[in-house]
Structure 1
Amino acid sequence: MTDFDAVLQSRGLSRYHGQGESLVRAVDEVDLDVPAGQTLAIMGPSGCGKSTLLHLLGGLERPTDGEVWLAGRRIDHLNERGLARMRRRSIGFVFQNFHLVEELSARENVELPALLAGRSSRAARRRAADLLERIGLGDRTRHLPWELSGGQRQRVAIARALANEPLVLLADEPTGNLDTAATIEVLRLFADLRAAGQTLVMVTHDERVASTADRLVSMHDGRFVGDTRLAGGTGRLGDLIGLDG
């Protein structure tokens, strides 16, 4: 049933709340195929179901109906332990509000997923140091989140999401709390990930951010209403940098 060229898929994916006249179709029979290495942006008005869809794809919420497949394996029917294991090993999450542990340093925040997945302390520390160096924060490894700028905190959150080399990175409004300069910092990092072949699905309200993707899907009332291939990539990032002066 699944297309093995796609790393992430959904079929008839639905999430309903309430019943009768109060029924809300947050996500309504969504079919989606995300090929490996693609950067996909999902846009739509507030309340259209974008974030709910992302949570369903990543196993943070369970669907009312439908299926989710990751790398050819159906995941929506896994038990809680199986979902937790899948999220640790195969999915990286990036959120608008960073969700860093305030008492931990940048390095410790990035180490945490690897430790939870069973890596040794030495391996987790080495991976965290490599990632922080890669994102330009090699000199901030001991800094606590409150000592970092918004763009730096989001880059740490992205590094944490990459700690276990996920098949898919899911980003929910990753630039929603950032100014233009910090947004460009994050988009530069996403461009590097795209060039390295990382599969990325991001929910965004910012048309400038969405335009850097390979593909744009529009949502309204829980359904897809548009699917457009984009030029994406460094060309649009260059336009953003131009806007920043």
Structure 2
Amino acid sequence: MTGSTVLRARGLTRQYGRDTGLVRAVDEVDLDVPTGQVLAIMGPSGCGKSTLLHLLGGLQRPTDGEIWLADHRIDTMSERALARLRRQHIGFVFQSFHLMDELTAVENVELAALLAGQSPGRARKRAMHLLDRVGLADRARHLPSALSGGQRQRVAVARALSNDPLVVLADEPTGNLDSAATLEVLRLFEELRTAGQTLVVVTHDARIAAVADRVITMRDGAFADDSRLVNNATATGTVYGGWR
């Protein structure tokens, strides 16, 4: 990891409803994610972790607070500028894959690059390289319906990497997978970690901690525990507001 911060939030808040029905899905969160860090965000259902990820990726607008990606404050961007930033600098991986059923694996991967303005030839070359990287070069021309769950998720990861993003945000990426497929994805995340890819993963799966540098536990929209991991073992206790 380098010492630079690629993703930063200050006083990040997302509220729903009002008065007695007010829900603080994310409650004044401060967060710094250094370049090259793999961060796992865990906690019970409804604790705000997916909302936090969507805020960090510009998929939702905060009620209050600031979000910075590298040197750009993204919470004040126009919708057009934010969409362009997401296409160029953020990779998303979702629990349900979100692949286009009528497109082959390679077409799904290259689509993001084409939307970002890359030439068809360059996008296809990059897509094939990424499918090879995730072990699916021989499935490049298969439709999603012909792929296993683990294979579809690896295609989704390849797609998330197509524009060499500053950060990959993954929302419950193993939630729909069986044990064997989960292990495939975990091995891939470990490879991304080794390669220095910044990765933020929202998950219920404690096995994600095996490939994380840091684990944050959320409760009621706030951080309850923040620990760095060394050699897959907890190296620090609870941390609030920074590194130890």
Range of TM-score over shorter length: over 0.9
The CA distance in 1 between the partners of 2:209 and 2:63, in whole Å, is 28
1:70-149 to structure 2, matched below 5 A, reads 70-149=69-148
1:46 is aligned to 2:38: no
Verify the 8 A CA contact 2:39 2:212 in the aligned structure 1.
Answer: yes
1:1-245 to structure 2, matched below 5 A, reads 5-231=4-230
Verify the 8 A CA contact 1:43 1:218 in the aligned structure 2.
Answer: yes
The CA distance in 2 between the partners of 1:142 and 1:160, in whole Å, is 15
Deviation string 1:79-132 (CA, Å, 9 cap, x unpaired) is 000110000011000000000000000000001000000000000000001000
The CA distance in 2 between the partners of 1:72 and 1:158, in whole Å, is 25
Verify the 8 A CA contact 1:43 1:210 in the aligned structure 2.
Answer: no
The CA distance in 2 between the partners of 1:21 and 1:134, in whole Å, is 51
The CA distance in 2 between the partners of 1:45 and 1:66, in whole Å, is 24
The CA distance in 1 between the partners of 2:86 and 2:105, in whole Å, is 21
Moved over 6 A (4+): none
Which ranges of structure 1 fall in alignment gaps of 5 or more residues? 236-245
The CA distance in 1 between the partners of 2:137 and 2:4, in whole Å, is 36
Where 1:139 maps in the other structure, the secondary structure is: helix
Where 1:104 maps in the other structure, the secondary structure is: coil
Instruction: Give the TM-score of the pair, scaled to structure 1.
Output: 0.92
Deviation string 1:22-76 (CA, Å, 9 cap, x unpaired) is 0000000000000000000000110000000000000000000000001121111
Give, in angstroms, the shift of residue 207 of structure 1: 1.1
Verify the 8 A CA contact 1:135 1:159 in the aligned structure 2.
Answer: yes
Give, in angstroms, the shift of residue 232 of structure 1: 5.1
Percent of residue pairs bearing the same amino acid type: 70
Verify the 8 A CA contact 1:15 1:65 in the aligned structure 2.
Answer: yes
The CA distance in 1 between the partners of 2:31 and 2:79, in whole Å, is 24
Amino acid at match of 1:195: T
The CA distance in 1 between the partners of 2:76 and 2:91, in whole Å, is 20
Amino acid at match of 1:86: L
The CA distance in 1 between the partners of 2:163 and 2:113, in whole Å, is 6
Verify the 8 A CA contact 1:13 1:65 in the aligned structure 2.
Answer: yes
Where 1:46 maps in the other structure, the secondary structure is: coil
Which ranges of structure 2 fall in alignment gaps of 5 or more residues? 234-244
Amino acid at match of 1:136: G
The CA distance in 1 between the partners of 2:211 and 2:129, in whole Å, is 26
The range that moved more, 205-214 or 69-78, is 205-214
The CA distance in 2 between the partners of 1:161 and 1:88, in whole Å, is 10
The CA distance in 1 between the partners of 2:22 and 2:170, in whole Å, is 27
Give, in angstroms, the shift of residue 5 of structure 1: 1.7
Where 1:211 maps in the other structure, the secondary structure is: helix
Give, in angstroms, the shift of residue 231 of structure 1: 2.3
Amino acid at match of 2:142: H
Where 1:33 maps in the other structure, the secondary structure is: strand
Instruction: Give the TM-score of the pair, scaled to structure 2.
Output: 0.93
Verify the 8 A CA contact 1:109 1:160 in the aligned structure 2.
Answer: yes
